[in-house]
Amino acid sequence: MSTDFHHSGKSRVKRLPKRGFYDKETIYKILDEGIVCHISFILDNQPFIIPTSYARVDDAIYIHGAKTSRLLNIMDGRNKLCVSVTLLDSYVMARSAFHHSMNYHSAILFGTGEIIHSDDEKLIALKVFSDHLVPGRWEDARQPSEKELHATHVVKIIIDEASAKIRTGPPSDDEEDYGLDVWAGLLQFKTVLLDPVDDPRLKDGVNVPEYIQKFIKDKNS
Amino acid sequence: MSTDFHHSGKSRVKRLPKRGFYDKETIYKILDEGIVCHISFILDNQPFIIPTSYARVDDAIYIHGAKTSRLLNIMDGRNKLCVSVTLLDSYVMARSAFHHSMNYHSAILFGTGEIIHSDDEKLIALKVFSDHLVPGRWEDARQPSEKELHATHVVKIIIDEASAKIRTGPPSDDEEDYGLDVWAGLLQFKTVLLDPVDDPRLKDGVNVPEYIQKFIKDKNS
């Protein structure tokens, strides 16, 4: 049985409550499928957004960047954060302009950030991060040196509350419009990976490894 | 010659300035290619994000939704807004874990919103909106009734300042790592459209119109 994330007024889906979900299983799935999240925070009474890659572990997401990044430093505990992950599934083409819609899976998280100082925890987070993007890459790539690790900030955002908003299914037209001679249905999006492009400076004899070929095949299946 | 958007400290790309662009042509292109934007605003000292579809006209973007939407009402002039459009292009696979990156085109806009009250301007905005998603659909679908138009809020967000951040090209490894036996290069994403799915209640004899077939073909080419 899946438990729910805490959801107060700020995370509850109000306008179309049947599209709102609060169980962790649903929200984890969206977070684990997404690649880029958008994080908003307040600075000098102005909202800011940064898009960034991330990875989830339990009820937290990790982001990382250069230690010199002003934005990552802002995320150290002092600021309230809102994080959004949005997966667009299809255009919903109704017979009336009014009932056009989109099918999507999206999650909104609220929480605060915390810069990770332990080298061990940073390394674990960076591996999780890498595994979230391309499984197998971490073991293949050159591992971070101590200097590189120290130049990297890892921020853990603990999810205080969260909700998902999901629309699925066909268009929903007004009853009298179903007789119109207008095509209606779904135009579904799929994100595929193209054939890998070798680095122009790739060493002779080095081929695309099997875990990357598998990754592309899985994504495109 | 393209002119620049205004860019003060809040929109300037600071950490990797060579990735920052301010000319309208570059920023328009990103906005016109995106489908979903993320909008953040402040409410009760808490940042919020909503993902939503949009369309650009000149130096403004339009969003729309139900008149009963709490969030659209918040966008009427009173609140500072930040809007982000992010297009992920590829994973950048370097030889070292540290130098892994992503290629992307992204735009950040700052501005304020304004609810459009004129029916004529609303209709124009909704048509632009529809054309941005699927050209030709507006003329084919049943047009909004007066009641529907009144149930819809259209918000115009005037762009006060903006910047784009773009990374392109191959990985950039440390010189001594180019000799490693690790594959490096790009894994490129492409969003394609699958074959249209008919509404289960589609009227007999109604086929996928030509402008939709063309739209899918163009997107997938």
Task: Enumerate the domain spans of chain A.
Answer: 17-173+180-186
Cβ neighbourhood burial of A114 (10 Å; 0-12, 13-18, 19+): middle
Average pLDDT over residues A101-129: 94
What is the rounded average pLDDT for all residues in chain A?
93
Does residue B77 carry a pLDDT above 90? no
The 8-class DSSP code of residue A18 comes to G
Reported confidence tier of residue B1, pLDDT bands at 50, 70, 90: low
| Contact predicate B47/A43, CB 8 Å | no
CA–CA separation, A149 vs A153, rounded Å?
Answer: 8
CA–CA separation, B50 vs B71, rounded Å?
Answer: 8
For residue B122, the chain A residues in CB contact (below 8 A) are: none
| Dihedral (CA of A8, A9, A13, A17) sign | positive
Domain spanning A17-173+180-186, CATH architecture: Roll (2.30)
Structure confidence at residue A1 (pLDDT): 53
| Contact predicate B172/B94, CB 8 Å | yes
Nearest by Cα to B165 from B49, B24, B13:
B13
Torsion of CA A40, A90, A8, A18, to 10 degrees: 170
Single-letter amino acid code for the residue at B70: R
Structure-token pair, residue A42: 């307040």
Nearest by Cα to B84 from B59, B110, B104:
B110
For residue A69, the chain B residues in CB contact (below 8 A) are: 15
CA–CA separation, A93 vs A182, rounded Å?
Answer: 10
| Contact predicate B140/B85, CB 8 Å | no
Whether residues B96 and A148 touch (CB distance < 8 A) is answered with yes
CA–CA separation, A29 vs A49, rounded Å?
Answer: 23
* Backbone torsions φ then ψ of A219, nearest 5 degrees: -65, -35
Structure confidence at residue A7 (pLDDT): 80
Residues contacting residue B112 through CB under 8 Å, at least 6 positions apart: B75, B77, B79, B80, B81, B157, B158, B160
Query: What three-state secondary structure class fits B18?
Result: helix
Tokens 């001679």 correspond to A181
For residue B19, the chain A residues in CB contact (below 8 A) are: none
For residue A52, the chain B residues in CB contact (below 8 A) are: none
Q: What Cα–Cα distance (Å) separates residue B124 from each residue in A28, A97, B2, B62?
A: 40, 13, 26, 11
Structure confidence at residue B11 (pLDDT): 77
Query: What three-state secondary structure class fits B206?
Result: coil
Structure-token pair, residue B100: 């892994």
Query: What three-state secondary structure class fits A20?
Result: strand
What is the rounded average pLDDT for all residues in chain B?
93
Does residue B13 carry a pLDDT above 70? yes
Chosen for mutation from B35, B39, B98 (greatest number of chain A CBs closer than 10 Å) is B98
Residues contacting residue B102 through CB under 8 Å, at least 6 positions apart: A53, B88, B89, B90, B91, B92, B167
* Backbone torsions φ then ψ of B163, nearest 5 degrees: -150, 155
Average pLDDT over residues B196-213: 97
Q: What Cα–Cα distance (Å) separates residue B40 from each residue in A72, A166, A195, B186?
A: 18, 20, 36, 31
| Strand residue runs (E) in B44-100 | 46-53, 55-57, 60-66, 80-93
| Contact predicate A159/A111, CB 8 Å | yes
Q: What Cα–Cα distance (Å) separates residue A75 from each residue in A54, A67, A68?
A: 14, 12, 13
CA–CA separation, B181 vs A140, rounded Å?
Answer: 9
Q: Which chain A residue is nearest to residue B176, measuring alpha carbons?
A: A142
Structure confidence at residue B168 (pLDDT): 96
Whether residues A96 and B144 touch (CB distance < 8 A) is answered with yes
Whether residues B170 and A199 touch (CB distance < 8 A) is answered with yes
Enter the CATH code of domain B17-220.
2.30.110.10
CA–CA separation, A90 vs A93, rounded Å?
Answer: 9
Q: Is the pTM of this model over 0.90?
A: yes
Query: pLDDT (tens digit, 9 = 90+) per residue, B140-178?
Result: 999 999 999 999 999 999 999 999 999 999 999 999 999
Query: pLDDT (tens digit, 9 = 90+) per residue, B81-126?
Result: 999 999 999 999 999 999 999 999 999 999 999 999 999 999 999 9
Whether residues B51 and A196 touch (CB distance < 8 A) is answered with no
Query: pLDDT (tens digit, 9 = 90+) per residue, A35-63?
Result: 999 999 999 999 999 999 999 999 999 99
CA–CA separation, A186 vs A61, rounded Å?
Answer: 32
Structure confidence at residue A204 (pLDDT): 96
Whether residues A183 and B202 touch (CB distance < 8 A) is answered with yes
Which spans in chain A are helix H? 24-33, 70-74, 119-133, 137-140, 146-151, 210-220
Structure-token pair, residue A26: 């649903």
Reported confidence tier of residue A10, pLDDT bands at 50, 70, 90: confident
CA–CA separation, A154 vs A204, rounded Å?
Answer: 35
